[in-house]
Amino acid sequence: MHLKSLLVAVAALSVAAPALAADSLDARLDGLAKAWAHANFEIRDKAAQSEEAARVAAQAEGLAKQYPGRAEPLVWEAIALSTEAGAKGGLGGLALAKSAKGLLEQAERINPAALGDGSVYTSLGSLYAQVPGFPIGFGDPAKARAYLQKAVSANPNGVDSNYFWGDFLFRQGDYAGSVKALERAAAAPARPGREVADRGRHADVLNLLAQARRKAHG
């Protein structure tokens, strides 16, 4: 091969390598999303759900080590740990929730817009909303409100951002506000490749929406 041809080939490889790496990361993030959706929405047994969520979190942790400086694997690790925490409950669940919060804070410092759907804000807001407050845990309604409002601002038509905002408002006794948020969640557009997550989340939305409507009109 002539030197000029070799240089052209090397240049082409140097351009292609980052693109291939990006494709590999995107594919693996998609795999994490699907594995988490299966754990969170399709596994009903709490012990089995905890085990599967832990497996997803471990995969995300490995991906985060391969791609230091990228926020997306940290977000998925935190989301999986949150599912594991919910399945375990108790002090073990609280420790996992604290770990998830730390990962999300790290992701927020790197890229708060990671995953492009407000996931960092949604996940932090839901943790602050659902974890018990001091002295047991770190729950904080004011921080929950601030993060969930940021999530809705980042993704005004999203199913998750509006569901968790509606869930927070329901917990705060704002049933009319909860209905509005949950109606937006119910009308959220489908996400290609996220069919399991969409189906499971919409079931959550409709269940809570029915409760909020009863409360709002009761």
Confidence of residue 54 (pLDDT cuts 50, 70, 90): very high
Domain 145-218 fold is 1.25.40
Give the residue range(s) of CATH 1.25.40.10 domains in the chain: 145-218
Identify the residue with better confidence: 10 or 85. Answer: 85
Q: What are 179-203's pLDDT values in tens digits? A: 999 999 999 999 999 999 999 999 9
Dihedral of the alpha carbons of 177, 79, 150, 98, in degrees to the nearest 10: 100
Q: What angle do CA 179, 161, 154 make, to 5 degrees?
A: 125
Spatial separation of the C-alpha atoms in residues 31 and 82, rounded to whole Å: 18
Spatial separation of the C-alpha atoms in residues 15 and 120, rounded to whole Å: 31
Taking 70 as the threshold, does the pLDDT of residue 1 lie above it?
no
Spatial separation of the C-alpha atoms in residues 119 and 155, rounded to whole Å: 9
**For the whole model, what pTM was predicted?**
0.89
Element (H, E) at 156: none
Element (H, E) at 139: none
- Of 109, 110, 63, 103, nearest to 84 (Cα)? 103
* Chain centre distance of CA 74: 10
Give every CB contact of residue 203 below 8 A, 6+ residues apart in sequence: 41
Confidence of residue 7 (pLDDT cuts 50, 70, 90): very low
Q: What angle do CA 210, 124, 106 make, to 5 degrees?
A: 160
Q: What are 83-136's pLDDT values in tens digits? A: 999 999 999 999 999 999 999 999 999 999 999 999 999 999 999 999 999 999
Spatial separation of the C-alpha atoms in residues 46 and 136, rounded to whole Å: 23
